[in-house]
Amino acid sequence: MSGRLKGRVALVTGAGNGVGKACALALAAEGASVVVNDLGTSEFAQGESASAADATAREIRSAGGQAEPSYDSVASSAGVANAVNIAEQAFGPVDIVVGCAGAILPGDLHASDESYHRFIDLFLSQKFWLARATVPGMAERGWGRFIAATSEGARGTVGNPIFAAAMGGVVSLVKGIANDYRGAGVTANCLAPGATTRLSQVMVPHLEQAYQEGKITREVFEGAKAGPGPVTHVPPIVTWLCTDAAADVTGRVFNARGGKVSVWSDYEEVRAIYRGDAQTSPPWSLEELDQFVPAHLLS
């Protein structure tokens, strides 16, 4: 490896398995000191174990890198704060954050208040707490990389409205961070990974049911059933975004899947209808909208 991240300190959540683990290993291979965070739950967020984080940290050390485990739940602000503290005590201020922790949780409109908040805390609030604890310090030092996992689910294509809301919220959160810290040496980007992991495989029966119920398309289901591709295809773009070569890349969403790297479109206005002067023209009538919305905005 080229050692492009030598001297940098990275915190990777969900690093005991799957995409998070692959990213932690890749960052360490480029010279970063890595805090490997993983609560050690099952795919369905049940139980706790130190074994997952320990195994990844041990693998990094065996390859000659530096790593410390964190067993904190990043679904709480206190857990995030403690994971950051572990990094600071072991290696120094955090330069790189890759927020990947997740699990399979119920997210349909029958979810209880408790389930809703648990979902949002794990998938969305985690990224806010990570950013709050690290990004201002990155800006003070003039260098930092913040990467937060989102998903195809942000587009609503896999059903699960709470998941869609959380993943869409991650995109908007990251865009806001990118805008606030533009020019401060800090970049913020999203990763929408596609990889065959324990979570993706466990989800296949659930997606099949969703397909049978007409909640997702055949394309989405068949893609999940076939498997997105090896997890090793994801870390290169994450690692590259953490290098100096990506100093001007911020506020974007990258997808890595089966050897393909793509970037999502930005939010933008795509069509408009106008009627005279904005200050003096009357509002649109419903009859006018009957005509112009289908013909000019939705065509």
Domain ranges of the chain: 9-196+230-263, 273-299
3-state secondary structure the chain: CCCCCCCCEEEEECCCCHHHHHHHHHHHHCCCEEEEECCCCCCCCCCCCCHHHHHHHHHHHHCCCCEEEECCCCCCHHHHHHHHHHHHHHCCCCCEEEECCCCCCCCCCCCCHHHHHHHHHHHHHHHHHHHHHHHHHHHHHCCEEEEEECCHHHHCCCCCHHHHHHHHHHHHHHHHHHHHCCCCCEEEEEEEEECCCHHHHHHHHHHHHHHHCCCCCHHHHHHHHHCCCCHHHCHHHHHHHCCHHHCCCCCCEEEEECCEEEECCCCCCCCCCCCCCCCCCCCCCHHHHHHHHHHHHCC
Tens digits of pLDDT across the chain (299 residues): 689 999 999 999 999 999 999 999 999 999 999 999 999 998 777 889 999 999 999 999 999 999 999 999 999 999 999 999 999 999 999 999 999 999 888 888 999 999 999 999 999 999 999 999 999 999 999 999 999 999 988 998 877 899 999 999 999 999 999 999 999 999 999 999 886 555 555 555 666 676 677 776 776 665 665 556 788 999 999 999 999 999 999 999 999 988 899 999 999 999 999 988 888 899 999 999 999 999 999 98
For the domain 9-196+230-263, what is the CATH code?
A: 3.40.50.720
Provide the whole-model pTM: 0.90
